[in-house]
């Protein structure tokens, strides 16, 4: 509600807005019916595309915000709808008392999942622009969990295409302060998922993005390794001597030998077969070296 954000109060339900101290007192008084609740106030920001600026009058903003609250099953409680004019894209902030007018606690269970689905639904219903993918999100506006999630996502998008092994990926992510650990099935070594961690916050790979699950990343790393082997094989064929070809192939086969182990969690039959073929080519090249040396 400060001047810095060029705040404009669009609607106040069950609270006074002047002075601001009384607004806070109104929330505190109602929240005191459930003193043990640590986070009695819920803050939600609804952000829209700059392309819809002309459509989004204050009345339209209130209509969408109240529809959002109903779908989130937030009713019979105090709330504020405040529009900010400090950015190019239109957005409103919802400040909601989780202790309703009867002293009951409004659940925030699965809030993020429900909110995402409802926002998509309302965007389509009102014919608003839906930005494709995470690339359109304003990173500098994010805080907390969302900020870290997008930092992990951005780091992975840069690191995965450059990684031919999980070790390479691990080294690149560590430069960004990100670590990861695998989730295994029961007491076995079979990997079922991956958990990333940054600044003490842990997030499952699939929650970072669908493309960041263990299976998707593992597949991309294997594809990268296979491509590197194919390129190395082509270079070896063009090498000026059989000795150079043997050295090039030996180095790469050793580097990716993990994939040839059938009991490895990263075992890839296709890649293993390719490495097997490269080993046969290496042996053939070594035979040529021996023949030339004898002569």
pLDDT digits (tens, 9 = 90+) for 210-255: 889 999 998 898 888 878 777 766 766 665 555 555 566 566 656 5
Task: Return d(Cα 146, Cα 208) in angstroms, integer.
Answer: 9
Q: Residue 261: is its pLDDT beyond 90?
A: no
pLDDT digits (tens, 9 = 90+) for 266-280: 555 545 555 565 566
Question: What percentage of the chain has pLDDT greater than the value 70?
Answer: 76
Would you kindly state where each structural domain of the chain is located, as residue ranges?
Answer: 7-131, 140-212, 218-294
For residue 85, count CB atoms less than 10 angstroms from its CB and return exposed for 0-12, middle for 13-18, buried for 19 or more.
exposed
Distances (CA, A) of 114 to 68, 69, 110, 173: 10, 11, 6, 30
pLDDT digits (tens, 9 = 90+) for 98-110: 999 999 999 888 8
Read off the pTM: 0.51
């Amino acid at each position: 509600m400060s001047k810095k954000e060029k705040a404009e109060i669009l609607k106040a339900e069950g609270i006074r807005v002047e002075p601001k101290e009384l607004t806070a007192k109104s929330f505190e008084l109602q929240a005191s019916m459930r003193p043990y609740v640590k986070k009695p106030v819920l803050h939600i920001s609804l952000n829209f595309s700059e392309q819809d600026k002309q459509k989004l009058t204050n009345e339209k903003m209130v209509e969408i915000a109240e529809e959002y609250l109903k779908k989130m099953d937030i009713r019979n409680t105090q709330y504020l709808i405040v529009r900010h004019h400090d950015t190019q894209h239109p957005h409103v902030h919802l400040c909601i008392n989780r202790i309703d007018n009867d002293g009951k606690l409004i659940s925030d269970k699965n809030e993020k999942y429900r909110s995402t689905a409802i926002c998509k639904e309302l965007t389509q219903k009102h014919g608003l622009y839906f930005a494709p993918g995470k690339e359109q999100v304003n990173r500098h506006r994010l805080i907390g969990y969302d900020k870290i999630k997008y930092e992990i996502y951005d780091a992975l998008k840069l690191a995965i295409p450059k990684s031919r092994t999980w070790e390479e990926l691990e080294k690149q992510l560590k430069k960004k302060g990100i670590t990861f650990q695998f989730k295994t099935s029961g007491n076995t070594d079979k990997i079922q998922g991956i958990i990333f961690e940054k600044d003490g916050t842990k997030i499952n790979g699939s929650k970072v993005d669908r493309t960041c699950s263990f299976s998707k990343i593992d597949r991309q790393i294997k594809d990268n390794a296979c491509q590197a082997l194919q390129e190395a094989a082509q270079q070896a064929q063009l090498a000026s001597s059989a000795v150079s070809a043997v050295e090039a192939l030996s180095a790469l086969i050793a580097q990716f030998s993990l994939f040839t182990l059938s009991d490895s969690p990263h075992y890839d039959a296709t890649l293993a077969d390719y490495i097997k073929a490269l080993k046969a080519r290496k042996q053939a090249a070594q035979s040529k070296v021996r023949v030339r040396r004898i002569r």
